[in-house]
C-alpha cells in the first residue's frame, strides 16, 4: 500500500472544519464510542483503515483508545481534507494517508486502492450517510478486508426504530436551521434583496445542500447494502449525546460550512456583505430552533439538546473450508442438501451426489453456486460399486482430490422383523452400509492428507427400534466401520467420525403420524424435533479444523433424546 503525500498546502475549508469539531464534545464522544466498539477486536501489528478519515479527528480518537501498536491508514476521497489529516499525523510513524482516486465521476473502491484481502479492520465514523452507492462502496471494503475482518460504522444521520422521543439526527437540525433561514429572509425587510427568486435558488442549490447534509436513510437500507456486499451484520446500537447550543452554533457559524447550510446566499464565493448577512440569518435561525427545542423537545433543556449516533458492526466471515472440496452423498434433499449448503457457505467446493431426483439436485446446485464455490452434481446409485467408481473418476477429472467425504445417503424400509422380506433387509444394508463402503472405497484414494470422513448413522444404530432391524443393523454397522477406519487412517491424518441424528424433519420422517410425532416430541428433553440444519452444523464442525484432534467419535444430534 502506497502512502499519499499532499502536493499543496492545507486547505482553509478543511482546517476550518477540523477546528470546529476537534474539541466539540458531542463529536468526540460519538467517535470515542466507535473506537470503544472497534478496539477490543484489534491486535498488535494489524492493519486498520479509517474510511472517510476526513481531517483525521476519528483517527485521533482511535489512537487514543488503542492498547497496542498497529498500522493505521487514513483513507478519504478528498485531497483537501486528507491534507489536513496528513498534517495532524505527520509525526506518527504508524499512521499513513491514502487517497481514493477518481476516474470520471467514479471513485476507486477501497480494494482498488489498498488491494484485496489486505486489511484486518475498517472503521468509518460520520461518513457512510454521505455515500450514494452504498453497495458498491461496501463491496470494495469487503474485498479489501481479510476473512474474519470487521467493519465498524458510526453515523449521526441514520433512521433507527424505537429511539427515545426527542432524540434528533444532527443533520436534521441543519435542515431545520435552513428552513428557519428561509422564513427569516421572506419575512424580514432587512433581507429583502435575497427574497428575489428565492424559491428558484433553493431548488437550484438543493443538490449542493443535500450533498453536504443529506436526507437520512433507514438502518435497514444499510443492512441490506452490507449483506449484498457479502457482510454478516451484527447487532446495531445507538448512543445519545448532549449537544450544547453554543457549541452547535459555533459549528454552524464556520464560514466555509455556511455554504452548505444556506447556499442560496452567496454560494461558495459570497461577497463580504453576503457572508455577513448569511451568518446573521443562520445565527438567528439557529436561535429560533434552540428556543423551539427548549420549549417542545422532551430531551432538550435550557443548555442542551440530544442527538443520536447509530453504530453498525459488520463482519467478513471466515471461510474456514475455502479451497477444500467436499463430496456429500444423497445431497439432493433433506439432511444431505443442508450439509452441502453449510459446507459451501464455509467456502468448500461441493460434489453433490444424488440417485433419482435430478430436479431437486439441480435446485440444490442453483442454491449453492451463488455462494461463490464450484458445485458439481453427479448421479450415482451408491449401492453400486461400479457407479461409485465412475463418480470418483468424474470427481478426479474435475477436482483431482477431495478433503471431506460425507456418507449421508440412506433409506428406510420399515417392517417388524418377522414380516420383513429378504429384499427389504438387503436393500437397506446395500444402500446404507454397503453404499457407504462403496463411496468410501472409491473416494479414499482421492483424499488429501488431513481430510475428514463422516458417516451419518442414527440414534437407531445405537439403541435399536421396533420395525427397523434392517436400518438399525446398517446404521450400527456404520459406527463400527467408522471406528475401524479412524484407527487405520490416523497415520494419514484423516479423521473419521460419525453423526447420530435423532428425529429430524425430512421426507424420511414426514410419513410418521402426527400423534406418534407428538409423543416423540414429549420424550425429547428439548421438546421439539430437529432440523436438517442441526445435523449440518455438526458436520461443519467435523469438517473443519476446529475438530482437528477428534477422530473415531460419535456426535449425537438428538435434542437429548438419549439422556
3-class secondary structure for 373-434? CCEEEEECCCCCHHHHHHHHHHHHHHHCCEEEEEECCCCCCCCCHHHCCHHHHHHHHHHHHH
Owner of C-alpha cell 442438501:
337
Cβ proximity of 159 and 169 under 8 Å: yes
Minimum distance between the CB of residue 542 and ligand NDP, rounded to whole angstroms? 14
Cβ proximity of 168 and 248 under 8 Å: no
Cβ proximity of 152 and 146 under 8 Å: no
Cβ proximity of 453 and 494 under 8 Å: yes
User: How far does the chain reach from its first CA to its final CA, in angstroms?
Assistant: 57
User: Phi/psi at 159 (nearest 5 deg)?
Assistant: -85, 125
Surface-to-core class of residue 100, CB atoms within 10 Å of its CB (0-12 exposed, 13-18 middle, 19+ buried): buried
Is the CB of 62 or the CB of 442 nearer to ligand NDP? 442
Per the annotation, the verdict on 471 as an active-site residue is yes
Cβ proximity of 458 and 471 under 8 Å: yes
Cell triple for 32: 470515542
Cβ proximity of 112 and 103 under 8 Å: no
Task: Please give the helix or strand (H or E) that residue 145 lies within, else none.
Answer: strand 145-155
302 by DSSP, 3-state: which? coil
- Cα(115)–Cα(118) distance, rounded to whole angstroms? 6
Cβ proximity of 441 and 384 under 8 Å: no
283 by DSSP, 3-state: which? helix
Is the CB of 372 or the CB of 525 nearer to ligand NDP? 525
Is the CB of 198 or the CB of 462 nearer to ligand NDP? 462
Q: Give the C-alpha distances (Å, rounded to integers) separating 483 from 454, 478, 480, 489.
A: 11, 9, 5, 10
Minimum distance between the CB of residue 30 and ligand NDP, rounded to whole angstroms? 50
Minimum distance between the CB of residue 356 and ligand NDP, rounded to whole angstroms? 4
Residue in 238, 463, 471, 549 annotated catalytic:
471
Minimum distance between the CB of residue 480 and ligand NDP, rounded to whole angstroms? 16
User: How do strand 95-99 and strand 71-76 relate by DSSP bridges?
Assistant: parallel
Is the CB of 237 or the CB of 358 nearer to ligand NDP? 358
Is the CB of 126 or the CB of 468 nearer to ligand NDP? 468
Is the CB of 336 or the CB of 559 nearer to ligand NDP? 336
Is the CB of 349 or the CB of 432 nearer to ligand NDP? 432
Minimum distance between the CB of residue 373 and ligand NDP, rounded to whole angstroms? 19
Minimum distance between the CB of residue 470 and ligand NDP, rounded to whole angstroms? 11
Where on the chain is the footprint of ligand NDP (CB under 6 A)?
A: 329-336, 353-357, 381-383, 408-411, 431, 435, 456, 458, 501, 503-504, 506-509
Q: Give the C-alpha distances (Å, rounded to integers) separating 108 from 7, 75, 144, 228, 376.
A: 20, 11, 12, 19, 36
Minimum distance between the CB of residue 143 and ligand NDP, rounded to whole angstroms? 35
Minimum distance between the CB of residue 486 and ligand NDP, rounded to whole angstroms? 19
Minimum distance between the CB of residue 66 and ligand NDP, rounded to whole angstroms? 49
User: How do strand 232-244 and strand 119-125 relate by DSSP bridges?
Assistant: unpaired
- Cα(89)–Cα(284) distance, rounded to whole angstroms? 37
Is the CB of 298 or the CB of 512 nearer to ligand NDP? 512
Is the CB of 149 or the CB of 435 nearer to ligand NDP? 435
Task: Please give the helix or strand (H or E) that residue 166 lies within, else none.
Answer: none
Minimum distance between the CB of residue 329 and ligand NDP, rounded to whole angstroms? 6
Angle between helices 245-252 and 272-296 (to 10 degrees): 150
Cell triple for 335: 439432511
User: How do strand 71-76 and strand 145-155 relate by DSSP bridges?
Assistant: unpaired
Is the CB of 346 or the CB of 458 nearer to ligand NDP? 458
Listed residue (101, 120, 27) closest to 56, CA to CA: 27
Q: Could you give the residue numbers annotated as active site?
A: 471
Amino acid at each position: 500500500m502506497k502512502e499519499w503525500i499532499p502536493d499543496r498546502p492545507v486547505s482553509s475549508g478543511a482546517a476550518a472544519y477540523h477546528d470546529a469539531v476537534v474539541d466539540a464534545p458531542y463529536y468526540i464522544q460519538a467517535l470515542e464510542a466507535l473506537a470503544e466498539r472497534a478496539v477490543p477486536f484489534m491486535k498488535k501489528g494489524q492493519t486498520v483503515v479509517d474510511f472517510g478519515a476526513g481531517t483525521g479527528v476519528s483517527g485521533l480518537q482511535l489512537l487514543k483508545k488503542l492498547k497496542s501498536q498497529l498500522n493505521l491508514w487514513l483513507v478519504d476521497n478528498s485531497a483537501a481534507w486528507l491534507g489536513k489529516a496528513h498534517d495532524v499525523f505527520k509525526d506518527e510513524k504508524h499512521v499513513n494517508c491514502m487517497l481514493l482516486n477518481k476516474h470520471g465521476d467514479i471513485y476507486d473502491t477501497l480494494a482498488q486502492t489498498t488491494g484485496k484481502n489486505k486489511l484486518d479492520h475498517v472503521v468509518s465514523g460520520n461518513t457512510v450517510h454521505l455515500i450514494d452507492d452504498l453497495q458498491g462502496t461496501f463491496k470494495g471494503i469487503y474485498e479489501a478486508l481479510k476473512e474474519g475482518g470487521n467493519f465498524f460504522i458510526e453515523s449521526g444521520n441514520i433512521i433507527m426504530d424505537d429511539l427515545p422521543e426527542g432524540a434528533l439526527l444532527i443533520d436534521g437540525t441543519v435542515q431545520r436551521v435552513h428552513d428557519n433561514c428561509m422564513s427569516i429572509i421572506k419575512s424580514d425587510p432587512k433581507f429583502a434583496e435575497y427574497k428575489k427568486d428565492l424559491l428558484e435558488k433553493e431548488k437550484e442549490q438543493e443538490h449542493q445542500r443535500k450533498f453536504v447534509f443529506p436526507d437520512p436513510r433507514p438502518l435497514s437500507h444499510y443492512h441490506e447494502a452490507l449483506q449484498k456486499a457479502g457482510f454478516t451484520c451484527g447487532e446495531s446500537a445507538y448512543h445519545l449525546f448532549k449537544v450544547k447550543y453554543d457549541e452547535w452554533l459555533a459549528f454552524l457559524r464556520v464560514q466555509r460550512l455556511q455554504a452548505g447550510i444556506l447556499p442560496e446566499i452567496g454560494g461558495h464565493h459570497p461577497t463580504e456583505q453576503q457572508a455577513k448577512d448569511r451568518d446573521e440569518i443562520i445565527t438567528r435561525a439557529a436561535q429560533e430552533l434552540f428556543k423551539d427545542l427548549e420549549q417542545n423537545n422532551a430531551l432538550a433543556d435550557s443548555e442542551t439538546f440530544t442527538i443520536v449516533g447509530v453504530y453498525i458492526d459488520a463482519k467478513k466471515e471466515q471461510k474456514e473450508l475455502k479451497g477444500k472440496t467436499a463430496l456429500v452423498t444423497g445431497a439432493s434433499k433433506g439432511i444431505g442438501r443442508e450439509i452441502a449448503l453449510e459446507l459451501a457457505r464455509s467456502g468448500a467446493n461441493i460434489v453433490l451426489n444424488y440417485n433419482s431426483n435430478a430436479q431437486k439436485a439441480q435446485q440444490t446446485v442453483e442454491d449453492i453456486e451463488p455462494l461463490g464455490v464450484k458445485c458439481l452434481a453427479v448421479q450415482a446409485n451408491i449401492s453400486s460399486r461400479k457407479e461409485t467408481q465412475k463418480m470418483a473418476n468424474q470427481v478426479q477429472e474435475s477436482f483431482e482430490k477431495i478433503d471431506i467425504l460425507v456418507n449421508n445417503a440412506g433409506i428406510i424400509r420399515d417392517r417388524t422383523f418377522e414380516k420383513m422380506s429378504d429384499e427389504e433387509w438387503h436393500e437397506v444394508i446395500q444402500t446404507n452400509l454397503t453404499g457407504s463402503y462403496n463411496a468410501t472405497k472409491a473416494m479414499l484414494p482421492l483424499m488429501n492428507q488431513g481430510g475428514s470422513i463422516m458417516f451419518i448413522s442414527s440414534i437407531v444404530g445405537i439403541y435399536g427400534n421396533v420395525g427397523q432391524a434392517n436400518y438399525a443393523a446398517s446404521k450400527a454397522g456404520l459406527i463400527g466401520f467408522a471406528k475401524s477406519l479412524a484407527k487405520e487412517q490416523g497415520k494419514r491424518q484423516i479423521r473419521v467420525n460419525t453423526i447420530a441424528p435423532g428425529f429430524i424433519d425430512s421426507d424420511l420422517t414426514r410419513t410418521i403420524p402426527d400423534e406418534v410425532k407428538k409423543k416423540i416430541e414429549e420424550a425429547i428433553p428439548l421438546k421439539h424435533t430437529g432440523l436438517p440444519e442441526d445435523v449440518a452444523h455438526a458436520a461443519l464442525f467435523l469438517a473443519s479444523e476446529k475438530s482437528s484432534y477428534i477422530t473415531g467419535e460419535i456426535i449425537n444430534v438428538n435434542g437429548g433424546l438419549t439422556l
